[in-house]
Amino acid sequence: MSKAFAENISSYSKWSENRTSPATDEDLLILCEKFSQFEVPVNVFLQAVAIAAYDCASAFRYADNYLTVLKKEKKPKNPLLKWKHKHEFENN
């Protein structure tokens, strides 16, 4: 009976989605490429690699969240200010 129960548990899709797998070498290269496009502190990169050692998907979510926040911080808050500075250089 326990064998049948174990088979039912493994076939249950909700439980099988929660399984974690460590990152492969190829996954780590892709993660490095993501971070190489921006100036990222070393501790953030090392944290992502440490997460990837246990859960590849979580490491990519961590990287995506960090890069999203980083992109938002670099955007000017008021697009008119960006246009104004561009226009000032054209007049000089």
Full DSSP string of 9-35: HHH-HHHHHT------HHHHHHHHHHH
Residue 41 to residues 1, 17, 38, 62, 73: CA-CA distances in angstroms?
Answer: 53, 31, 10, 14, 15
77 within some domain: yes
58 within some domain: yes
For residue 37, what is the DSSP state? T
Q: What share of the chain has pLDDT > 90, as a percent?
A: 49
47 within some domain: yes
Q: Is the pLDDT of residue 85 over 70?
A: no
68 within some domain: yes
Q: Domain count for the chain, please give it.
A: 1
Q: Tens digits of per-residue pLDDT, 37-65? A: 888 999 999 999 999 999 999 999 999 99
79 within some domain: yes
13 within some domain: no
Least confident segment among 25-29, 53-57, 85-89: 85-89
